[in-house]
A and B are shown apart, each in its own frame.
Chain A
């Protein structure tokens, strides 16, 4: 079943009176448990595509349906709620709240939703961090964690609300190859285990074999995806 369904999406920026087309008639579907790698040079539009899929930007044209929600016409407030409840994000570097422990960084999601971080949430956060191999790091601040550990906490946060779709923005760019591969393996295992859809933006071709499919993007246009797994 399709989790992300983007059809004929265009995104046009206006810069100094000139229209710049960042995304041109992009159509892409991602199914449950499917991991799609989005590969392209910088400025190709991959950031724009990811932002639209995650409800961070609205498309100029076209329809975006995520987990059954048609978010094409959502206003900013609706998008905020949508992101909190339906999408997980893992960013490149600025990711965790620096003054919160690993456990609290997961519970933030709950607090932002107005939750009180009760026992149930705490149990869930611990369980997630355990799964990610961070059971002994619950009370550590981000500054006390290694780069790989930090990205694992970020993955835990992305999964905390049981999203249907997780978006990864160059999750391994700040890591060395070995740690990067470990993180990718973890992502793969977690997505498959939860039957969650994922898009991973990367420019590192060494990481693409963890994906089921790789979509190339150049100058805002997508090529047909090929199954690589």
Chain B
């Protein structure tokens, strides 16, 4: 075992305190990242799971499903646009629903569809639906009949699908007739006629947004699937704000590592003088500092991961915390980079240690 690791094993006290602080920061990073992912994934699942290339909104809807209305004429124009291969209508209704033998209502996003999203079969018969597993977590079981909205429209759950929620509400995938029924009975003020859908999911090739919007003479606004995901209300702001907090927290990690190792380096100046005199290079001594910082960061990452997993399990379901492998990886990399940069603050001092200082000093 090398010199820096032996030091950590034989004089652990200082490293332990630094590790505790970094572990809390790592927990914060995982937690913030997990929240961001939870908000993002929970808000966008219904769109991300679409097996299409573009989403068509009416041009006055500002890319919002709830306000978008596509008429049969618009749909015909879209279908005839160059590059378009398949078109399916889609519509959402966000409502509360009663679950059998449960006092509380659950939030559902009743989603009418024609082209099945990933993991969803062909549209079921009227008043049957495939529920998102988010609803399963809230006590919905296969075979349950949910009473949706103030008008209590009954929909029977015939299956489950993963990761398709919309605006943090579990989706209930139904055919378009059922969706219209739900919408018209519960929101008579926002009723939709039989040939109307909120938006279209389009499969095809080429520059679909341009060719579709040209074909409808501006009556539609078409987004690629990725852009439609980012157009969901709040998604982009959440991402920007959380990333700002995450990056600032990484700077705190950097400052804490820098602070700690500059204190440690200060204690070691005499020793460094001796080691340099007997032939240690600055590079070797400094890489020892970096190695220790990286080691502390790795331990902090492990503790932080465990703490955040425990926190995720202990929190109420309504906190949209979701810990993904990608988040673990990016947090790990972030911690490592911050630790290396933080320890680099000590480089100047290590470099400045004069090997000649070992001679002629009594203590």
Chain A contact patch, size range: 20 to 34
Contact call B271/A56, Cβ cutoff below 8 A? no
Quote the shortest CB–CB distance from B274 to chain A (angstroms).
6
Residues of B contacting A1 with CB < 8 Å? none
Residues of B contacting A54 with CB < 8 Å? 277, 359
Give the docked Cα–Cα distance between A76 and B280 (Å): 11
Say yes or no: A112-B275 contact (C-beta < 8 A), given A92-B361, A97-B3, A100-B6. Answer: yes
Contact call B11/A47, Cβ cutoff below 8 A? no
Residues of A contacting B358 with CB < 8 Å? 56, 89, 91, 94, 169
Residue interface bits B337-363, CB-to-A below 8 A is 1, else 0: 000000000000000000110111111
Residues of A contacting B363 with CB < 8 Å? 93-94
Q: Say yes or no: is A132 at the interface (Cβ < 8 Å to chain B).
A: no
Out of B11, B279, B355, B359, which one reaches A99, CB within 8 Å? B11
Contact call A56/B359, Cβ cutoff below 8 A? yes
Contact call A81/B279, Cβ cutoff below 8 A? yes
Q: Say yes or no: is B2 at the interface (Cβ < 8 Å to chain A).
A: yes
Q: Say yes or no: is A83 at the interface (Cβ < 8 Å to chain B).
A: yes
Say yes or no: A83-B6 contact (C-beta < 8 A), given A50-B359, A94-B274. Answer: no
Total interface residues in chain B, CB < 8 Å: 26
Contact call A80/B281, Cβ cutoff below 8 A? yes
Contact call B280/A112, Cβ cutoff below 8 A? yes
Stretch at the interface among A103-111, A179-187, A190-198, A207-215: A103-111
Q: Which residues of A contact B (CB under 8 A)?
A: 47, 50-51, 54, 56-57, 77, 80-81, 83-85, 88-89, 91-95, 97-100, 104, 108-109, 111-113, 141, 157, 169, 173-174
Between A and B, 18 residue pairs with Cβ closer than 8 Å are A50-B359, A51-B359, A54-B359, A56-B358, A56-B359, A57-B356, A94-B270, A94-B271, A94-B273, A94-B358, A94-B361, A97-B3, A97-B275, A99-B11, A111-B2, A169-B358, A169-B359, A173-B362
